[in-house]
Amino acid sequence: MSVKESWEPKIIGFCCNWCSYAGADLAGTSRMNYPASIRVIRVPCSGRVNPQFIARAFQLGADGVLVAGCHPGDCHYSTGNYFTRRRMLLLTRFLEYLGVDPDRFEVRWISGSEGQKFADTVREFTERVRALGPSPKKRDAS
Amino acid sequence: MKRIGVFVCHCGSNIAGTVDIERVVEAARAMPNVVYVEDNKYTCSEPGQEAIKQAIKEHNLNRVVVAACSPRMHETTFRRAVAGAGLNPYLLEIANIREHCSWVHPDKEGGTPKAIDLVRRAVIKVAGNVPLDRGRIPVTKRALVIGGGIAGIQAALDIADAGHEVVLLEREPSIGGRMAQLDKTFPTLDCSACILTPKMVEAANHPNITLMTYCEVEKVDGFIGNFSVTLRKKARYVDMDTCTGCGICWGKCPGKASSEFEVGLAKRTAIYVPFPQAVPNKPVIDRENCFFFKTGRCKICQRFCPTGAIDFEQEDELVTEEFGAIVVATGFDIMDKDVYGEYGYGQYPDVITSLEFERLVNASGPTEGKVKRPSDGKIPQRVVFIQCVGSRDENKGVPYCSRICCMYTAKHAILVHEKIPGAQTYIFYIDVRAGGKNYEEFYKRAQSEHEAQYIRGRVAKIYPKGDSLVVVGEDTLLGEKVEIEADLVVLATAVLARQDAGEVARTLGISYDGYGFFTEAHAKLAPVETNTAGIFLAGMCQGPKDIPDTVAQASGAAAKVAALLSKEVLETEPLVAQCDEVKCSGCFWCKPICPYKAIEEKEIEERVGRRTVKRKVASVNTGVCKGCGACTVACRTGAMNLLGYTNDQLLSEVEALCL
């Protein structure tokens, strides 16, 4: 009972260094407020994100996972995010099979100039995850 | 034995204001392998860096975590500090507790636990860091400048003056670009040709510059210091070596086409030089309008050419050249004429664009500098200028300001007043933006000395009345409708990125914004670099700017190139992919996913039982690899790893954050 009340969603974010991490930095320099739910892991490219990392996050009780990369066509490495797009589409379908609500998973394209979009994304995604409640993994533990 | 030191930065009150530093420090002490924790007011400052160096020595630290601002800000600073204490610079991790935490979470209750998590992530990750060494690659000491406008010419001259070889590439038959089309330049009223043509000639004659006109970039391979660029030399059908530029051919040519240089206000022949001061002053044959290419008969130019330079058999030629650096200076386009139907451009011949007006007032233009209306050649007495046609218009045009229109329109008003006695000019504007040295004074002069009448408001429509045009607009300062009868209307149409900017960007591997302007590496601190190392920007291709700013940026880009080319070898980032040959099964799924073709097949010998067998494994060319990590995810056996972002490290980061 008390767990539920004090519960704040915890979201793991994978941000590519060139666009989305820079976008998150811009949200910071522009002092945009957004929920403290997100913890960002910096990767060179969204194409570096192995679905294994996401599965592990859910396995360890993350309430949500966000993968953010450059807009298609704008990848710093030319093509990395095209692979991400296909790979993450597949993963979304696969999550159900793993027993994870696909609504806990989000892929967004956020450029280095879209600080606002980063802040909005975190805000919206946090609310969505909050509505879903704590990760089943956590609920089982408590 | 890992001995990690954690340095938590207050950043004045930037971090300390919303993150409880003391709690972060306490939490860090309990993290695995952490033997030393310290907090500093400003870790990036000289004393802050000194404190890191001292702690490394005193406490025998072999890993460092700095919890401060974004690694995009100070990673290099702290790597240098760590290296200063004798530690490998890659044994450092940064926890971004400013941009990603203190600045976005206004209360300590939200910010502090998150900051602790971020520090833990860095502590866990740094434990997996290994010492890495920078690679060394040789530098080809030649530069390619793409675009022969004022930006490209300036960049080429500056690089050449620094003692490096330059190829100046231009896709039109002559260098000169937009500036060659202009009449006078604001705010000094220097004649554009008078200040540009000497530079064009200087570029052509400079011993270090090779001019390649009528050429385009076909393909770009390689990386900083080692670009391999395939250039398409378009067929000119004129042999450059034998042609003397005597001009007989274009005097005789019966083919006619609308002149690009005169913005359609005059005709040119099918064999032509774009303008009299062209550099090189040698013609090309425009295939589309040449009678010979259209009908198979004519060849008049060939018959009259005294040196036999005309060669109808010429074909496009592809050449590959090596360069160490590239400057992109491809310039801009102007908004399409027919976007604003209500202004009747194309419908009424006396509604023209500002660029057309430049040609009309230009002494070398179609009217020899006499301002005559295109319709009947009459000298206009009432000239209306309309500002922001397409610029600052989110509905029909582009939201940004084109930056040059206010000033060149003031110039046009002055020129009209000087050239046509008694003429009256009216300028419809939204705001006058005269930010620049002597710009405001220039605009005031147009108003006071040259009686330009500025009317604040947009024009609704233009309709013909007799042989003049009625401009209907609104004066928003007086709040009333205005109707002005005009003889000539000039539209200040928006500056746009080149239509094919996206294609060029993809060929070069640089990024561009939503409008098609190429993106600089940092809006303020790296305005001439791109995100692709070794490729630099100059001029309008990066965004609207006037000639002084263009020249300044071109010189800036040239300085960067000169610095790069002055090195014998370049040090490369060691954060590249690495293949574990034992695990590699030789499936080569990594090969097609690599955008840089950095993965090669390598044969190795292995002992299997008592036999030696040969098999193929992946091998990474570390000079070409840029460390994106695409191959690591494609790898089915987990043999591919990315140094600095290994699979184990990323998994451990996930674990650290999920605690």
CA dihedral sign, ordered B44, B45, B47, B50: positive
| Rounded-to-integer distance, Cα B135 and Cα B569, Å | 10
User: Is the per-residue pLDDT at B273 higher than 80?
Assistant: yes
Per-residue confidence band for A1, with pLDDT thresholds at 50, 70 and 90 = very low
User: Is the per-residue pLDDT at B107 higher than 70?
Assistant: yes
Identify the CA nearest to A31 among candidates B260, B55, B539, B98.
B98
Beta strands in chain A (DSSP E): 11-16, 38-43, 64-69, 105-109
Of residues B103, B509, B632, nearest to A78 (C-beta): B509
User: Is the per-residue pLDDT at A142 higher than 80?
Assistant: no
Task: Check residue B572 and give left, alpha or beta (phi > 0: left; psi -120 to 50: alpha).
Answer: beta
What residue of B is the nearest CA neighbor of A113?
B513
Of residues B70, B647, B654, nearest to A25 (C-beta): B70
CB B291 within 8 A of CB B255: yes
Contact B647 A50 (CB under 8 A): yes
| Rounded-to-integer distance, Cα B603 and Cα B615, Å | 6
Count of H-run helices and E-run strands, chain B: 17, 34
User: Is the per-residue pLDDT at B498 higher than 90?
Assistant: yes
Give pLDDT tens digits for B11-24: 999 999 999 999 99
Of residues A40, A48, A113, nearest to B628 (C-beta): A48
| Rounded-to-integer distance, Cα A139 and Cα A8, Å | 13
- Listed by number, the residues of chain B in 594-613 with a beta carbon closer than 8 Å to a beta carbon of chain A are 595-596
What residue of A is the nearest CA neighbor of B654?
A57
User: Is the per-residue pLDDT at B376 higher than 60?
Assistant: yes
CATH of B577-643, one of 3.30.70.3340, 2.60.40.10, 3.30.70.3270, 3.40.50.720: 3.30.70.3270
| CATH 3.40.50 applies to domain B235-315 | no
User: Is the per-residue pLDDT at B389 higher than 50?
Assistant: yes
| Rounded-to-integer distance, Cα A103 and Cα B290, Å | 63
Identify the CA nearest to B535 among candidates B514, B517, B521.
B521
CB B46 within 8 A of CB B52: no
The average pLDDT across B609-629 equals 90
| Rounded-to-integer distance, Cα B543 and Cα A36, Å | 36
Q: pTM for the full model?
A: 0.72
Q: DSSP assignment of A79-97, as one string?
A: SHHHHHHHHHHHHHHHHHH
Could you tell me which CATH number the domain at B135-233+322-331+498-571 has? 3.50.50.60
> How much is the ipTM here?
0.95
CA dihedral sign, ordered B612, B616, B617, B622: positive
Best of B654, B655, B659 to mutate (most A CBs within 10 Å, chain A): B654
User: Is the per-residue pLDDT at B432 higher than 70?
Assistant: yes
CB B340 within 8 A of CB B492: no
pLDDT of A49 reads 97
Half-sphere exposure in the Cβ direction for B401 (13 Å, CA): 14
Which chain B residues contact residue A113 at CB under 8 A?
513
- Listed by number, the residues of chain A in 47-66 with a beta carbon closer than 8 Å to a beta carbon of chain B are 47-53, 56-57, 60-62
| Rounded-to-integer distance, Cα B321 and Cα B227, Å | 8
CA dihedral sign, ordered B427, B375, B178, B275: negative
Q: What percent of chain B clears pLDDT 70, i.e. is strictly above it?
A: 100
Q: B618 — phi, psi (to 5°)?
A: -80, 145
Q: How far is CA A105 from the centre of its chain?
A: 7
| Rounded-to-integer distance, Cα B221 and Cα B170, Å | 20
| C-alpha dist (Å) from residue B409 to B299, B355, B382, B425, B579 | 45, 11, 15, 10, 61
Q: How far is CA A96 from the centre of its chain?
A: 17
Per-residue confidence band for A140, with pLDDT thresholds at 50, 70 and 90 = low
pLDDT of B303 reads 95
Q: Domain spans of chain B?
A: 4-128, 135-233+322-331+498-571, 235-315, 335-495, 577-643
- Listed by number, the residues of chain B in 443-472 with a beta carbon closer than 8 Å to a beta carbon of chain A are none
| Rounded-to-integer distance, Cα A117 and Cα B164, Å | 44
CATH classification (class only), B335-495: alpha beta
Partners of B483 in beta bridges: B472
pLDDT of B222 reads 84
Between A39-48, B41-50, B241-250, B567-576, the lowest mean confidence (pLDDT) is in B567-576
Best of B124, B220, B658 to mutate (most A CBs within 10 Å, chain A): B658
User: Is the per-residue pLDDT at B170 higher than 60?
Assistant: yes
CB B416 within 8 A of CB B446: no
**Please, what is the average pLDDT of chain B?**
95
| C-alpha dist (Å) from residue B515 to B229, B430, B498, B501, B502 | 26, 22, 9, 9, 10
CA dihedral sign, ordered B549, B554, B557, B563: negative
Question: Which amino acid appears at position B159 of this protein?
Answer: I
Identify the CA nearest to B309 among candidates B282, B278, B270.
B282
Architecture of the structural domain at B4-128: 3-Layer(aba) Sandwich (3.40)
User: Is the per-residue pLDDT at A130 higher than 80?
Assistant: yes
Give pLDDT tens digits for B206-239: 999 999 999 999 999 888 899 999 999 999 999 9
CB B626 within 8 A of CB B534: no
Give pLDDT tens digits for B394-406: 999 999 999 999 9
pLDDT of B634 reads 96
Residue B276 CB partners (closer than 8 Å, separation 6+): B364
- Listed by number, the residues of chain A in 69-98 with a beta carbon closer than 8 Å to a beta carbon of chain B are 74, 76-80, 83, 87
CB B366 within 8 A of CB B277: no
Partners of B319 in beta bridges: B231
Q: DSSP assignment of B203-223, as one string?
A: HHH-TTEEEEESEEEEEEEEE
Partners of B279 in beta bridges: B175
Which chain B residues contact residue A78 at CB under 8 A?
506, 509, 595
| Rounded-to-integer distance, Cα B148 and Cα B130, Å | 47
Best of A6, A58, A78 to mutate (most B CBs within 10 Å, chain B): A78
Beta strands in B77-130 (DSSP E): 92-96
Q: How many residues does chain B have?
A: 659
Per-residue confidence band for A5, with pLDDT thresholds at 50, 70 and 90 = low
Q: Please tell me the distance in Å from A99's CA to the nearest CA on chain B.
A: 18
The average pLDDT across A29-45 equals 96
The average pLDDT across B49-78 equals 96
Looking at per-residue confidence, does B343 or B336 come out higher?
B343
Q: Token pair of B336, please?
A: 């399409």
CB B540 within 8 A of CB B301: no
Partners of A67 in beta bridges: A14, A107
Question: Which amino acid appears at position B507 of this protein?
Answer: T
Give pLDDT tens digits for A12-33: 999 999 999 999 999 999 999 9
Contact B100 A29 (CB under 8 A): no
pLDDT of B18 reads 95
Which chain A residues contact residue B111 at CB under 8 A?
36
Looking at per-residue confidence, does A7 or B63 come out higher?
B63
User: Is the per-residue pLDDT at B347 higher than 50?
Assistant: yes
B4-128 and B235-315 have identical folds? no
